[in-house]
Structure 1
Amino acid sequence: MTNGFLRGLALALALAAAPVAAQAQGQPFAPAVIVNGQGITNWQIEQRARFWALLNAPNATFEGAREAMINETLQIQAARNAGLQLTPEELDQGMVEFAARGGLEPEQFITLLEQAGVAGETFRDFVRNGLYWRQLVQQRFGPRARPTDAEVERAVARGGSGAGGVRVLISEISIPQTPETRDEVAALTERLSEEISGQASFESAARRFSRSSSAGRGGRLEWRPLSTLPPQIASRVLALEPGEVSDPVDLGSFVGLFLLRDLDESGATTPEPISIEYAEYLIPGGRSEAALAQAARIDANTDTCDDLYGVAQGQPPEVLRREVAPVEEIPADLRAILATLDEGEVSTLLSTGGALRLVMLCGRVAEIPEDPDGALQSAGQAILNQRLEAYAQGFLDELKADAIITDG
């Protein structure tokens, strides 16, 4: 909070006569919603909505406040079930820190709130609920979420190879195979390699047959450094003229066909060695429809590798693996997939041991810079915060799924 916050609060005081939530009128102390047997009254929700409106916060409506207070009730119940307690001194300190953002003492802040029709206990409950949840998340997930020194260094270093090098613009068709389907896939890819002619034909086949994340856009990939492609693919691509299609490339778990759209040698230099950071989440069921549907749901609800920590919440540690490795040390099939992904993009081409491997590219890692300004410390805190947020959201989703929530 700044002077702008104080000016906004002063303006809100002048408007305080207007009710924020008409839903709370009539029976203000009747429960609006009941969460696992615990009621949240209309008055409590109206007070929270008014409090947020004074702070110019988003979702400062009755419905927005109702949803938030359902979440907070679940969070407090979980914290108390875990045996957590908040001392009066901790609550006081939390209120001091919050009010200090506007250059106020808690007593001054509460006085201003009360003039606007917001009870002091609304402020106290808001701070208390946040402190309880923060303690629970730290206790439950802190050790697991804390990054290693190597992870922090990789995060600081992430940002690409920094070398021009030879770049290629390609399109792909990737078809998974198993020992049982190997002959069938080989016949299909040989036929496609012979029949496809030109980019339009390739894109049509990609939409029909490919199972990579690029299938929906006709297999089209953005510019890629040639050095990031497995040798089996790089050698085939370099032998093509723009518009030509490669012979099938067998990479074990899948077979790929590649169309060269363009090649850029203008910045050809010896590329700096880079590593790739990626995550793998295992989904039971192999390439079954149920497993692929689950993968699609995860893909739709995640944007970064850190989001997968929330997905894996409550499951054995081995279901989620996050690695960083030099490009040349990554298995050819996995390296081929990672080379075609953008940061945060996923692939479900691979499977192992009866499980579908959802692979997400976290980023590409280059040389580690100096750290004169605390870049490592800042990066470490950022990683920790992101992971805790993902864990916390996953845990809250579990609490809500198991809760009994009814209208009052």
Structure 2
Amino acid sequence: MQTFLTQAFSVSLIRSFSRTAAAISLAFALSSGASPVAAQGLFAPAVIVDNAVITNYELQQRALFMVILRSPGNPEIEAKNELIKDRLKQAELARVGIAPTAEDVTAGMTELAGRANLSLDEFIKVLGENGVEPETLRDFTSIGLGWREYVGSRFLARARPTEAEIDRAMGQAGSGGVQVLLSELIVPLNEQNAEQVQQLTDHVAQMTSFEAFSATATQYSASDSRSNGGRLPWMNLTKLPPQLQPVVLALDTGEITEPLPLQGAVAMFQMRGVREVTGSKQRYSAIDYAAYYIPGGRSPEAQATGQKIATSLDTCDDLYGVAKGQDPSVLDRLSLAPNEISQDIAIELAKLDPNEISLNLTRNNGQTLMLLMLCGRTGELGEGESRETIANALVQQRLASFSDSFIEQLRADAVIIEK
């Protein structure tokens, strides 16, 4: 069973952080002022999460503790982020009535101490030497245990993989791989333009040159690649939708696919090149993506709104803030096997790296613009692992993803005030 605790660390490393811990303590002391008011400033609110207060003292304690745990990033910044998450977790745990027992918390602290090859008393002593109070360890442990129980009870049923998913994850990726160099033409399709689109695709099917296909894509394609004549960069074949892979591989250089029906569009691809690459070809058991829906289809106003939102996003979780207060139907967050994703979305996702965005697709007969964002890809796990190990790994991956997404939803709905 995966623990909520951090990676292993040694006694010598813990004690080597004394200088950094002292620097953090000094920084907080200077920010509070060297006077009798300093103690009051240290316990003054630094952040308010709804009605829950985070004090300067708690920030200092968590920053010191994160240094000892070798957590990545700036300890002061990360301490604030983690404590905000803790307040959100505490409120949710209180709402559902989850509270670890004192015995469970002590066992959890003992487990963490054991990762440093220390008894609990020895660990608390080392923490004290670095300025961390026992209550900080206890709070950290209690929230971690409670949240693990909550996430398991809420999401475990959804996180369990099917036998088919375990089979896919255990599949051997194989040695070597294939990359393809394609050009694309994606033309919107509706009842009004169906005849014209049919004439266009019939014309394209007769083309034999790269230049003619490129010129047509520049003029008619709805994809962003039209600015480059429809030309796409080299792409791993396994990134394409499974149903499209054999179609593409069957093409000779210069050959063009039959029109492929998409939702509200048709697509045609021209083969410009194929090459083999050394090393393992990566296959994916799941694709995690988000879709935010904007009224107006491909109108300039909807495109401008989409571009404005896109520039404000760093990760998929940021979309929860964008969708806050709106109907839940405006945002979809999905993690699906490649063969479960609709073909038009799968084609767009194949062109994206994690946290990249596409504004090429529409829904609702072209009346709604889709802001599509790739959140990540889950690679298939190799052979040599037991089914139980593979299943547990998939469960933990999914639980972590569900937990992170849910916390971001809670954060988007909360009122957070930084002093």
Q: TM-score, normalised by structure 1?
A: 0.72
Counterparts of residues 304-319 of structure 1 (less than 5 Å)? none
Aligned to 1:183: 195
Q: Give 1:76 deviation, angstroms.
A: 0.9
Instruction: Give the match for residue 269 of structure 1.
Output: none
Rounded to whole Å, the distance in 2 between the matches of 1:122 and 1:10 is: 18
Q: Deviation at 1:38? A: 1.6
TM-score (norm 2): 0.70
Match of 1:72 among 74, 86, 109: 86
Instruction: Report whether the alignment pairs 1:249 with 2:254.
Output: no
Mark the CA change 1:23 to 1:191 in structure 2 (over 3 Å): closer, same or farther.
farther
- The CA distance in 2 between the partners of 1:207 and 1:107, in whole Å, is 70
Kindly indicate whether residue 66 of structure 2 is the aligned counterpart of residue 55 of structure 1.
no
Q: For residue 12 of structure 1, what is the aligned residue in structure 2?
A: 17
RMSD, matched Cα: 5.0
Query: Shift in Å at residue 130 of structure 1?
Result: 1.5
Distance 2:286 2:145 in 1: 34
Q: Structure 1 residues 339-348 or 71-80, which shifts more?
A: 339-348
CA–CA separation in structure 1 for the residues paired with 2:127 and 2:284: 53
Question: Which residue of 21, 31, 44 corresponds with 1:23?
Answer: 31
Q: Is residue 389 of structure 1 aligned with residue 389 of structure 2?
A: no
Query: Match for residue 119 of structure 1?
Result: 133
1:37 to 44, 47, 51: 51
Quote the offset at 1:149 in angstroms: 2.1
One-letter amino acid of the structure 2 residue matched with residue 222 of structure 1: W
Q: Is the 8 A contact 1:79 1:136 kept in 2?
A: yes
Which whole-Å CA distance do the structure 2 matches of 1:193 and 1:3 have between them? 60
Greater Cα shift, 280-289 or 36-45 = 280-289
The match for 1:404 is 415
Taking the aligned partners of 2:192 and 2:171, their CA distance within structure 1 comes to 42
Distance (Å, rounded) in 2 between the aligned partners of 1:16 and 1:369: 42
Letter in 1 for 2:12: R
Q: 1:382 to 1:214 in 2, by over 3 A?
A: farther
Give, in whole Å, the separation in 2 of the partners of 1:275 and 1:125. Answer: 38
Mean CA deviation greater in 27-36 or 285-294: 285-294
Q: Which runs of 5+ in 1 are unaligned?
A: 266-273
Residue ranges of structure 2 left out of the alignment (5+ in a row):
1-5, 277-282
1:94 equivalenced with 2:125 (yes/no):
no
Contact preservation (8 Å) 2:338, 2:346: no
Q: Which residue is 2:183 aligned to? A: 171
Identity value in percent: 29
Q: 1:219 to 1:66 in 2, by over 3 A?
A: same
Give distance in 1, aligned partners of 2:164 and 2:215.
Answer: 43
Q: CA offsets per residue over residues 206-259 of structure 1, 9 Å max, x none?
A: 466434576676432536499964777666x33xxx4x4638625364333333
Distance 1:56 1:215, change over 3 A: farther
Aligned length: 382
Taking the aligned partners of 1:298 and 1:391, their CA distance within structure 2 comes to 23
Q: Distance in 2 between matches of 1:369 and 1:278?
A: 17
Amino acid at match of 1:398: Q
Q: Which shifted more, 88-97 or 187-196? A: 187-196
On the 8 A contact 1:2/1:102 being kept in 2, the answer is no
Aligned: 1:106 with 2:115: no
Asked whether the equivalents of residues 9 and 115 of structure 2 are also in contact (C-alpha less than 8 Å), the reply is no
How far 1:65 sits from its partner (Å)?
1.3
Deviation at 1:94, TM superposition (A): 0.7
User: Structure 1 231/308 Cα, relative in aligned 2: closer, same or farther at 3 Å?
Assistant: farther
Indicate the SS of the match to 2:42: coil
Equivalent residue number for residue 270 of structure 1: none
Give how far 1:198 is off.
3.4
Which whole-Å CA distance do the structure 2 matches of 1:395 and 1:146 have between them?
18
